[in-house]
Structure 1
């Protein structure tokens, strides 16, 4: 191997090593495991959009941008952000709502968010709803509080929802859950 070929090989190897390192750092940042120097990791988050799987042809989309700041780590009711959902039926009718987040709890890859509906074309403006998400990559799951016979009468407390029982339509799930890491006082003895 001549010197020019050796030098090109070294440069290519160095470039590949830098790309691998940058990719690993980007993955760590995206997962919430690392944050840039001097910045606090937010306490919890739920972001993303997905469509629910419905074989009858319904088009149901949920979107989240919910966050709990690091300074509010032990108070999930200080969460902020927005959520929205839209349900278009095969017959052409539809309903939609947007809301303001009032609580966010996450554990591992599961999140529960509640909030008050602030805009809608339905009769539920001002009502609190709860939504749960299980972040499983492209196979996310979702649940919501307005299920059951008494859904119209319920007065849902903050931080509550059902299990994530709905499947997300293949290829549409991009929910990201940042796990909450509560800090407890040590036991006194």
Structure 2
């Protein structure tokens, strides 16, 4: 495989599983016999509105393909989250991300378990350990990716940009990656960044 093909040769096993949460609606109990009008619920008994729940401390989600004039199929997908209770520690982030690079039927993919997530404004840096890949020498290594959430013009960078392949990287710290120098393919940018708001 040519070195240029290797530049993003790791794979993104598709993380586009949209989890639909189903909410069960409780049916209203019948009024007791003889009651003329059912009593309205008191304010303190009403369910807390969605806006009263604490939002997660940070998140990076979405999928996009990278722009390649040669027609390479390169995809990155993210489902990374930092819970509100872990706001002070980005290294307690959870989730997965994945990526792939194929050209003329050749290429590779990788799935990654998130171990750190830092976001600021519309920029996110996420890292994790490769748990599964068909690229030799990559499983067990840490990789990092940077995303700039710019609507339909999202940008992306990755920790192996200077080395050519994650297989050549050792000892990468958590939440480390390159500047987001890559452009996403037209019509595919749907990355969403929830900004971290630490208390200093």
Whether 1:138 and 2:152 are equivalent positions in the alignment is yes
Among candidates 93, 112, 121, match of residue 108 of structure 1 = 121
Aligned to 1:165: 181
Deviation at 1:48, TM superposition (A): 0.1
Among candidates 57, 65, 89, match of residue 75 of structure 1 = 89
Aligned to 1:174: 190
Whether 1:119 and 2:135 are equivalent positions in the alignment is no
Q: Unaligned 5+ residue runs, structure 2?
A: 1-48
Among candidates 160, 166, 171, match of residue 155 of structure 1 = 171
Q: Which TM-score applies when normalising by structure 1?
A: 0.76
Q: Is the 8 A contact 2:160 2:169 kept in 1?
A: no
Aligned to 1:7: none
Higher percent of residues as helix = 1
- Equivalenced residue count is 149
Q: Unaligned 5+ residue runs, structure 1?
A: 1-34, 185-189
Measured against aligned partners, the alpha-carbon deviations of 1:63-88 in whole angstroms (never above 9, x if no partner) come to 00000000000100000000000111
Where relative contact order (Cα < 8 A, 6+ residues apart) is larger, the structure is 2
1:40-59 to 2 correspondence within 5 Å? 40-59=54-73
Does the residue aligned with 1:77 lie in a helix, a strand or coil? helix
Query: What is the alpha-carbon distance in structure 1 between the residues aligned to residue 162 and residue 51 of structure 2?
Result: 47
Query: What is the alpha-carbon distance in structure 2 between the residues aligned to residue 62 and residue 174 of structure 1?
Result: 11
Cα RMSD (Å): 1.4
Query: What is the alpha-carbon distance in structure 2 between the residues aligned to residue 149 and residue 87 of structure 1?
Result: 16
